[in-house]
Each structure stands twice: as C-alpha cells, then as structure tokens.
Amino acid sequence: MQSALSVVYITQEVCVSRREFSVAGEYHYRRSSPTRWIISHLIRYKFLLIVFFVLAIGANVGFSSVSALTGAAFNAVLLGPQGYPQLVIIALVMLGLVLLNGCVDLGARFASQQLGERFARDAREELYISLLGKSQTFHNRQRVGDIMARAANDMSQLRDMVVPGFDLIFDSFTSLTVILTFIGVLNWRLLLVPLIFTALFFLALRHYSRKLNPVANKMRAQFGVTNSVLNEAVAGVEVVKATAQEEQEKHKFTENATLYRDLFVQNGRIQGRYLPTLILGVFLALGFLHALYLLSQHQISLGTLVAFMGLMVNLRFVTYMSLWTFNLVQLGIAGSARILNLMKEETELDENEGGYNKSIDGEIVFEHVTFGYGATPILKDISFRARPGQTIAIVGQTGAGKSTLTKLVNRIYDVQAGRVLIDNVDVRDWSLDALRSQISTIEQDVFLFSRSITENIAYGLGQKADRAVVEAAAKDAQAHDFILNFKDGYETEIGERGVTLSGGQRQRIAIARALLTDPRILILDDSTSAIDSATEDEIQKAIRRLLQGRTTLLITHRLSQIRWADHILVLKRGTLVDQGTHEVLMERCDTYRRIFSHYDSTVPATAAGGE
C-alpha cells in the first residue's frame, strides 16, 4: 500500500511539470522539498544505505567496546597475579576487535562513498535532463554563469553533504547512542551527566543550525551571482577589450567577490561561537566528579570509572564532527534548494509524447496568429499559407518580427492567439520530437560545438553518420574544399562556438548539417549573409536542387533569393501588410518597394551585379 501511494504521489508531482524532453524509463524523484528530494535520491540505493547503517553501527559498537574492555583490564590488574590470565584474554579480544573494527569501518566508508558519488551523478543527470526539457523562453531568462554554478559547485556541495556530511553525522549520532547505552550498562547512575549533556548539545545544535541556514543560503546565491559576472566577462571579452572597460569589469567582479567573502567570514563567525565544544569540556569535568563520588560511595569500581571516562572522552568525536558536518549539510541543503528551484521552474511547452507523429508533407498555415514575449505583441493577426515545396520569403525592416514568425513553426515559442498548422494539424498537437526532427533551421548566428567538423555536420542525425554522406553534404554546401585545407581535414577540432572558423565557414558547415538531416521544412534566417556572392551562388544552386518538394521559409536581404521565392510576406511592425509574388508586390505595395529599394542600395556592387 505504501509503495502504491508513493507511486501516486510521485506521479502527481511529476505530471504538473511540462517539459520538451524526457528519457524513457527515467527515474522520478520527489521534488516537493529539498529534504524529500535528497531522501528520494538516497533511498534509490536501499542496499547501500542498509549496508552503511549496519556497518556504521557495528563499527561504533566495536569502538565503544574497546573503552569498556579497558575498564575491565583495570579491574583485572587490581586482582594482581590472579587477574593476569583474564588480562591476556582481554588483550587478545581487544586486538581482535581493533582489527575487525578496522575492516567494518572500511566497509562503511566504502558504502557511504559509493552512495555519495551515485547521488551526485544522478542529481547531475536529473538537472541536465531538466535543462534540456526547458523551453527557449525559460533559457532566455537565465544567466549561464548562475546555471553553471548550480550544475558544478552546488552539485559538489551535494556530494560533500552526503560524504563526509551525512556519513559523519550518522556515525557520530550512532556513536552517541552507543556510548549512552554502554554507560547505562556499566551503571545506570552514571547516565545523569551524559544525558544532561545530550539535552544541552541538541539545544545548542538547533540554535547553531538556525543561525547557519540563512547565511548558507546567501552564500550559495552570491556564489551564483559572482560566477555569472565572471562568465559574462569571459564570454564578452572581445567587447570588454574593444571598449577598454577592463577596469569596470574588474570593479564589478571585485564587488561581488567581496560580498561572497563577507558571507564566508560571517559563516566562520557563527562556527567560532559553536557552544557544544565548551559544553563538552564542562561536562567532562562534571562527569569525572560524579564518577569519583560514586566510586567513593563504593557504587562503582575503579575499572568502571576508567571505562566511563573513556566513553565520555569519545563524545569529543560527536561534538567536534557536528561543527564541521552541519556546516556541510547546511551548504548542501542550500545548494539542493537552488538546484530544485531551477528544475521546478515552469516551462511553457510540453513534448506531447503521444501527439501526432507522421512524416511531414510541408504545408504551413498561419491562422490569425498573435504572439509577444510580454504584454506587447510582436506579431499581430498574421495569416498566410505555404503549400508543400514552396519557398516563402519573409521581408521587412529590422524588428518587424521575421525571425519570431519562423520560431512559431517548430514551436520554439507557442502562439498566444490563433493557430499554426502543419499538414492541417495544429503544431501544439504534434509530438514535439516528430515536429522538430523534420524541420531544420539555419540562422545567421551559427552555433557550432567544440567537436570535430564531422561531428558538427552529423549532429542532427543523433548518431555517427557515414563519412561519405557527411562529405556529400559538405560538397553540396560548398564546404568540402576549405575543410580539406585544414591539417586534420574532417577530424579538425573547432573552438567553442566555432570561433576558429570564419563566419562564412561556420554558415557552410551549418548548411551541410541541415542538408544531412533531410528536412521536410527548412528555415533559412539570413543564413548566407557572411558568404561572398560567388560562393553563395554555388550554395543556392545546391539548395534549390536538393530542396525540391521541401517547404522553405526564407529570411534574407539578398535580392536574388527574394526574386526566386514562390511567395513573399511583407512584415511591418509585426503586421503582415501584404503578400504575393515579387511582380505583384512591386506593383501594389509601397512598403515592399521601399524595402526592396533599401536592400538594393545596401548590396555591394559586386553582389548587385550578380543579382
């Protein structure tokens, strides 16, 4: 029954979150609170947990047994020669206990280390899958540096929270329980001082945790901000240097790093006021005095007093470890809260796994579509139809909404009013994977991964493509020749975002990547802007030959491309002011004539001659 309720609970928790990507057979964790999330991760490995618990308890029992046997050894010594045989037996038992205890403790540490590493790995995987499933709107709101801080540093805090954090906390509190049990077995009267210490210890620990928690949360948040500032400065170092703003960036980073340092110092001050260490010193003295009193009353033996003090001294481990481990736990919980908040943040789109899943013919219909990123609409009441195989050119001044319109086709964003249909099916009813896998987009700002050229071209296939197929796509995109000029050819590793390539080279690799996926719909967003006219002519020939029967949405400033489009959309401030062929629009649309005239005047002489 409990298992069934857990499944229902987890299912309810998961169903409220929409996402664009999920993994088959994915393990779902409870996300209602950081504590439940952590526990749900740990209980996934019940066997390791049980092994750790059993071995940790066994190790502490063995450790406390040594103190108890030390007291028995004192009693044997007091017996004189008659106690020597007993002393030998005690010594042998202690030796066996120490050896066994070492093996048991090693097993406990191994189990806890395995648990911590698996927790960290699973949490990273869960966060990564969650980020992949978030919408573009979500990612537009995020600061990359802060996300990286959560994915790297906060994740490390999670691992440290389990090992050595939870490991030593469980070990120390097990030790406390075992010590109290052994003291009670020695003589129940000796429990008075340890029990009072335990009560005061927990009160002081509660006060310590309450003081530490808000500072730990601020520390993790400030680390994310500091990391974001660093990431932005490094990513935009070209702008920083071009504008000579190194001093401004240095000041900004120093200011945030100082705030983080101050919080770290505040954290240290709280640890410096840790009361249990002082309380322990006082109660060790009180415990010794109490034991001496019981000895003077002949209620305990000298060996019992020695064993008692040995057990009391063992409380140092509990006390001193709690200072360090509770700090680790508070930082880990603060980090888990930041990670959980990121994963729980709502995304606008859902993968619609059971949605429409067919091969796309290529018909695109916009029915009274309105969309905006906020309260102000970017696109207003847009309606048009693209038949399968048609090339639709979209023209308009900067900010007219051209790129935004194309992002509604593959559901990077969802419309706020109206409908976008592909093959007479609303894009929101399509399986997101089926929809996007049949649509390729080539943008002006091309993103390439820091991998080989072959991997970048074959990326859209989701697997290692045949070399001949990759080369064929590169030849069609006019990229083959310049690739062979590199020392390692197709195995050349390119820098992050393709910074080691020119703009034209990056765009040609992106075109090859798009052609290799055999898209049913192709979106070209000013994708040949960084290519010279001679190369562009060759690329356009390849694209026109290879895209027979495919629908193309084309945003371009190239007059030749606009002319050979089957249909042209004219956008002005988010409104579709006219549509038709080039000849029709030149006759009746003043806006189109002005745009066309503007494009014509901005085309270089060498390019204009070709157009």
Query: Domain containing 225 — which CATH number?
Result: 1.20.1560.10
Tell me, what's the pLDDT at 371?
Answer: 92
Cα Rg, the chain, nearest whole Å: 35
Tell me, what's the pLDDT at 369?
Answer: 94
Whether residues 333 and 376 share a domain: the answer is no
Tell me, what's the pLDDT at 3?
Answer: 36
31 within some domain: no
18 within some domain: no
Q: Which of 405, 479, 475 is nearest to 441 (CA)?
A: 405
6 within some domain: no
Residue 464 pLDDT class (50, 70, 90 cuts): low
Whether residues 428 and 469 share a domain: the answer is no
Centre a 10 Å sphere on the Cβ of residue 122 and count the other Cβ atoms it contains.
Answer: 16
> What is the residue range of 362's domain?
358-438+519-611
Tell me, what's the pLDDT at 542?
Answer: 58
Residue 5 pLDDT class (50, 70, 90 cuts): very low
Whether residues 272 and 395 share a domain: the answer is no
Which residue did the predictor score with more confidence, 456 or 605? 456
Whether residues 469 and 551 share a domain: the answer is no
Query: pLDDT tens, 44-58?
Result: 999 999 999 999 999
Whether residues 314 and 368 share a domain: the answer is no
28 within some domain: no
Please report, for the domain that includes residue 505, its CATH number.
3.40.50.300
Query: pLDDT tens, 383-420?
Result: 999 999 899 999 988 888 888 999 999 888 889 899 99
Tell me, what's the pLDDT at 506?
Answer: 81
**Number of domains observed in the structure of the chain:** 3
Whether residues 570 and 488 share a domain: the answer is no
User: How far is the C-alpha of 332 from the C-alpha of 312, rounded, in Å?
Assistant: 30
Whether residues 393 and 266 share a domain: the answer is no
507 within some domain: yes
Q: Is the pLDDT of residue 605 over 60?
A: no
Residue 547 pLDDT class (50, 70, 90 cuts): low
Whether residues 107 and 61 share a domain: the answer is yes
548 within some domain: yes
Contact criterion met (CB below 8 Å) for 448 and 509: yes
Q: Mean per-residue pLDDT for 424-432?
A: 92
Q: Determine if the pTM surpasses 0.85.
A: no
Contact criterion met (CB below 8 Å) for 314 and 180: no
Tell me, what's the pLDDT at 227?
Answer: 78
Q: Is the pLDDT of residue 151 over 80?
A: no
- DSSP 3-state assignment of 391? strand
Boundary of a domain, candidates 469, 484, 517: 517
Q: Is the pLDDT of residue 602 over 60?
A: no
44 within some domain: no
For residue 294, give both structure tokens: 């019981």
4 within some domain: no
Whether residues 121 and 205 share a domain: the answer is yes
User: How far is the C-alpha of 574 from the C-alpha of 402, rounded, in Å?
Assistant: 8
Whether residues 453 and 434 share a domain: the answer is no
Q: Mean per-residue pLDDT for 156-172?
A: 83
Residues 6 or more apart whose Cβ sits within 8 Å of residue 146 = 224, 225, 227, 228
Average pLDDT, the chain: 81
Query: pLDDT tens, 489-540?
Result: 888 888 666 667 877 788 788 888 887 877 889 888 876 655 666 666 666 6
Mark out the alpha helices in 411-502 (DSSP H runs). Answer: 432-436, 453-457, 467-476, 480-484
Whether residues 504 and 532 share a domain: the answer is no
Which residue did the predictor score with more confidence, 20 or 207? 207
Whether residues 95 and 161 share a domain: the answer is yes
Beta 364-371 vs 521-525: how paired, if at all? unpaired
Beta strands in 361-468 (DSSP E): 364-371, 379-386, 391-395, 417-422, 425-426, 439-443
Query: pLDDT tens, 214-243?
Result: 887 788 788 878 877 877 777 677 677 667
Tell me, what's the pLDDT at 8?
Answer: 35
